[in-house]
């Protein structure tokens, strides 16, 4: 039984292969490397294969999570936009109620209050793409 965990065995082999691949100044003999680490080469490759499969599954899962996150972010942006539109529509409703109350009270005359309410309506309406009100001119 090796004193190393499966993950450590796979990492030892990976390190040896990496040194070999990158052209280490010393020649790396994988069999000797495994023997010095106290593991069999066969056992090392078995664990490395399992670890690679696990890493591939993790990469795949990570990619799925990133795609889900992107979709959630798009839905959140859409929901925030809809919420802002709802807030603006509510503000618009309140302005129209106040304008209606003022018209009932003072008639349809160009009062300062009515003009302020119309300006407010037009400012909010422009954010929602509505045509401006100009009935006091």
The pTM assigned to this predicted structure is 0.56
**Tokens (6 digits) for 17:** 């292969």
Q: Is the pLDDT of residue 11 over 80?
A: no
User: Between the CA atoms of 30, 31, 35 and 41, what dihedral angle is there, to the nearest 10 degrees?
Assistant: 90
Report the distance separating Cα 2 and Cα 19, nearest Å. Answer: 23
Short-list 56, 44, 57, 55, CA closest to 5: 44
Q: Is residue 136 part of a domain?
A: no
What are the tens digits of pLDDT across the range 43-88? 777 777 777 777 778 788 899 999 999 999 999 999 999 999 999 9
At residue 18, the pLDDT reads 79
Q: Determine contact, residues 28/41, Cβ cutoff 8 Å.
A: no
Q: Is the pLDDT of residue 1 over 80?
A: no
Question: Helix or strand or coil: residue 3?
Answer: coil
* 45 within some domain: yes
Residue 134 falls within a domain, yes or no?
Answer: no
Within a domain: 29: yes
Structural domain harbouring 69: 6-128
Residue 133 falls within a domain, yes or no? no
Q: E strands, the chain, where?
A: none
pLDDT tens digit sequence for 74-126: 999 999 999 999 999 999 999 999 999 998 998 887 788 888 999 999 999 99
Domain count, the chain: 1
**Rg, Å, the chain Cα set:** 35
The answer as to whether 135 is a domain residue is no
């Amino acid at each position: 039984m090796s004193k190393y965990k499966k993950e450590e065995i796979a990492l030892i082999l990976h390190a040896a292969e990496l040194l070999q691949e990158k052209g280490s100044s010393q020649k790396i003999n994988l069999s000797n490397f495994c023997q010095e680490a106290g593991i069999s080469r066969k056992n090392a490759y078995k664990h490395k294969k399992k670890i690679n499969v696990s890493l591939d599954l993790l990469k795949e899962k990570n990619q799925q999570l990133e795609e889900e996150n992107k979709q959630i972010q798009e839905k959140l942006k859409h929901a925030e936009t809809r919420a802002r539109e709802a807030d603006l529509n509510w503000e618009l409703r309140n302005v129209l109620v106040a304008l209606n109350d003022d018209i009932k009270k003072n008639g349809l005359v160009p009062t300062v209050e009515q003009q302020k309410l119309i300006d407010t309506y037009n400012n909010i309406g422009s954010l929602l793409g509505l045509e401006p009100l100009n009935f006091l001119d």
